[in-house]
């Protein structure tokens, strides 16, 4: 971290439009606000949402002013999909932490055979060129086990808290989930977040 920017945690979240990246960013920020922390969220809406690549930023700390996280400044890169994680790997700072779901969602160009999807090992190899701190697990599997593929973002939310990088307690995180969703989805979402939390806690 830079000397003059020491009290800001930069979190970049990336995935495919429709995976719930924006919702995760908002809930993460709500939980931060509940902890009395200053926070900024940067989002892009519109064209970027239509099944394309999405990246969202959450900046927590008193020095957070603008929404942008530049290359080499993210403390934590959260990837909902391997290739989308790789697409934003330039954001990670030296020794920053990458939290990645290994579940693949094929881009149309790959389905049409105009390009190939890299192997998982090749993706990990490229990420290692930026940081050695990689937490890699199948979050989609955990989401489905919790009751719905739609809970993927809550698995990732739990996982973020599990890294201990973000100054938000598990209790505040779960409260933010309860306050943000209709009651009928609460059980699945909480279960998903717990699953993500436990999965990551066991490897940090």
Where on the chain is the footprint of other proteins (CB under 8 A)?
2, 4-5, 16-18, 23, 25-26, 29-30, 33, 38-53, 63, 65-68, 70-73, 83-84, 86-87, 89-90, 93, 105-113, 115-118, 122, 126, 129-130, 149, 180
Of the candidates 193, 156, 170, 147, the residue with the CA atom closest to the CA atom of residue 14: 156
Shortest Å distance, C-beta 164 to other proteins: 23
Report the alpha-carbon distance of residue 46 to residue 58 in Å, rounded.
19
Between 117 and 175, CB nearer to other proteins:
117
**Strand ranges for the chain from DSSP E:** 9-16, 39-42, 53-60, 74-79, 92-101, 134-137
Between 73 and 172, CB nearer to other proteins:
73
Between 129 and 202, CB nearer to other proteins:
129
The string of DSSP letters for 55-83 reads EEEEEESTT--SS---TT-EEEEEESSHH
Per the CB < 8 A criterion, the answer to whether 99 and 135 are in contact is: yes
Per the CB < 8 A criterion, the answer to whether 97 and 13 are in contact is: no
Shortest Å distance, C-beta 77 to other proteins: 13
Between 65 and 203, CB nearer to other proteins:
65
Shortest Å distance, C-beta 51 to other proteins: 5
Shortest Å distance, C-beta 65 to other proteins: 4
């Amino acid at each position: 971290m830079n000397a003059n920017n020491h009290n800001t945690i930069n979190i970049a979240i990336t995935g495919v439009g429709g995976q719930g990246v924006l919702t995760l960013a908002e809930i993460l920020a709500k939980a931060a606000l509940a902890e009395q922390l200053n926070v900024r969220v940067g989002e892009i809406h519109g064209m970027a949402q239509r099944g394309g690549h999405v990246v969202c930023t959450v900046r927590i700390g008193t020095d957070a002013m603008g929404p942008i996280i530049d290359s080499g400044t993210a403390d934590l890169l959260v990837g909902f999909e391997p290739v989308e994680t790789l697409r934003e790997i330039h954001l990670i700072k030296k020794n920053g932490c990458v939290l990645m779901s290994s579940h693949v969602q094929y881009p149309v160009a790959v389905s049409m055979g105009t390009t190939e999807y890299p192997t998982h090992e090749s993706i990990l190899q490229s990420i290692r060129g930026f940081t050695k701190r990689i937490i890699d697990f199948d979050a989609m599997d955990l989401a489905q086990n919790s009751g719905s593929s739609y809970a993927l973002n809550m698995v990732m939310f739990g996982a973020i808290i599990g890294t201990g990088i973000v100054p938000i307690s598990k209790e505040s995180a779960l409260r933010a989930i309860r306050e943000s969703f209709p009651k009928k989805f609460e059980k699945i979402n909480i279960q998903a977040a717990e699953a993500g939390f436990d999965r990551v806690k066991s490897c940090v």
